[in-house]
A and B are shown apart, each in its own frame.
Chain A
Amino acid sequence: MKKIYPDQDIDKFLKQTFDGFQVTPPEKLWDNIELKLDDSKAKPSGKPKKSNKGWLTGGIILSMIGLLILIIHPDPKKTLPTYQPERTDMAIENPAEIKISPQPAASNLPEKSKIEKAQTKPTQDFVTPRDTAKLFATLTPSITYTRMPVLNDYPTITIAGLDKNIQPLRASGSGGTSVTPLKKPMDTPRIKIHNGLRLQLPKFAIPDLFPGNSFSDRLDFGLTMTPQYSSRILFYKSLQSQTSSDIADFNSSEDGAFSFCSGFFFSFNVNKSFDIVLGVNYSSFNQHLSIDSLRREAIGVNEYLVRSSPGNLRFTYSSTAPLTNEALLNTMLTFSSIDLPLSLKYRMFKNFYLNFGVLYSRLVNTNINIRATGFNGNFTTSAISGLRANNFGLLGGAGYSKNLTNRLRLDVGADCRLLLLPINTEATVKYLPVVFGLNISLSYKLSGSRNK
Chain B
Amino acid sequence: MEALVLTNIIRSCLEGNESARRALYAKYAPSIMGLCFRYSNCKADAEEILQESFIKAFQNLHRLNDPERFEWWLKRIAVNSAITFYKKNRRLIHRRDVEHFENMLTDSFSIDKKLELDEVLTIIQRLPEKMRLVINLYAIDGYTHEEISTMLKISIGTSKSNLFDARKRLVKELGKTEENSK
Contacts and interface: CB of A to CB of B under 8 A. Distances in A.
Interface of A: 1-7, 10-11, 14-15, 17-18, 20-26, 29-30, 32-34, 36-37, 40, 185-186
Interface string B23-35: 0010001110111
Interface bracket on B = 35 or more
A372 to B, nearest CB: 47
A18 B38 contact: yes
Which of A22, A24, A186 has most B Cβ within 10 Å? A22
Nearest to A40: B59
Contacts of A10: 139, 167, 170-171
Interface stretch (B1-9, B47-55, B85-93, B151-159): B47-55
Contact of A4 (B18, B51, B101, B171): B171
Nearest to B29: A25
A221 to B, nearest CB: 55
Given A14-B135, A15-B140, A30-B25, A22 B174 contact: no
B34 A18 contact: yes
B60 A186 contact: yes
A6 B106 CA distance: 29
Nearest to B167: A10
A47 to B, nearest CB: 16
The dominant DSSP class at the B interface is helix
Nearest to A14: B139
Given A22-B31, A30-B22, A186-B77, A5 B174 contact: yes
Contacts of A4: 171, 174-175, 178
A410 B116 CA distance: 79
Contact of A3 (B117, B138, B178): B178
Contacts of A11: 138-139, 167
Contact of A33 (B54, B116, B120): B54
A17 B47 contact: no
Contact of B104 (A14, A18, A24): A24
B167 A7 contact: yes
Interface in B41-90: 46-47, 50-51, 54-56, 58-60, 63, 77, 80-81
A17 B119 CA distance: 11
A281 B25 CA distance: 80
Given A23-B33, A24-B30, A26-B47, A5 B117 contact: no
A24 B139 contact: no
A342 to B, nearest CB: 62
Contacts of A2: 116
B51 A24 contact: no
A427 B101 CA distance: 99
Which of A21, A24, A33, A40 has most B Cβ within 10 Å? A21
A304 to B, nearest CB: 61
B181 interface: yes
Given A7-B168, A14-B135, A33 B51 contact: yes
Contacts of A32: 51
Nearest to B35: A21
A27 to B, nearest CB: 11
Given A10-B139, A34-B18, A185 B60 contact: yes
Nearest to B32: A25
A23 B30 contact: yes
A7 B58 CA distance: 40
B177 interface: yes
Given A1-B178, A14-B139, A24-B105, 9 more contacts: A17-B120, A18-B140, A20-B108, A21-B34, A22-B34, A22-B105, A30-B22, A30-B29, A186-B81
27 contacts: A1-B174, A1-B177, A2-B116, A4-B171, A7-B171, A11-B167, A14-B120, A14-B140, A15-B139, A17-B117, A17-B120, A18-B120, A21-B34, A22-B34, A22-B105, A22-B106, A23-B106, A24-B105, A25-B33, A29-B47, A30-B29, A32-B51, A33-B25, A33-B51, A33-B58, A37-B21, A186-B80
A76 B57 CA distance: 61
Nearest to B84: A186
Contacts of B31: 20-22
Contacts of B181: 1
B77 A23 contact: no
A25 B30 contact: yes
A17 B116 CA distance: 8
Nearest to A3: B178
A276 to B, nearest CB: 63
A21 B105 CA distance: 8
Contacts of A6: 171
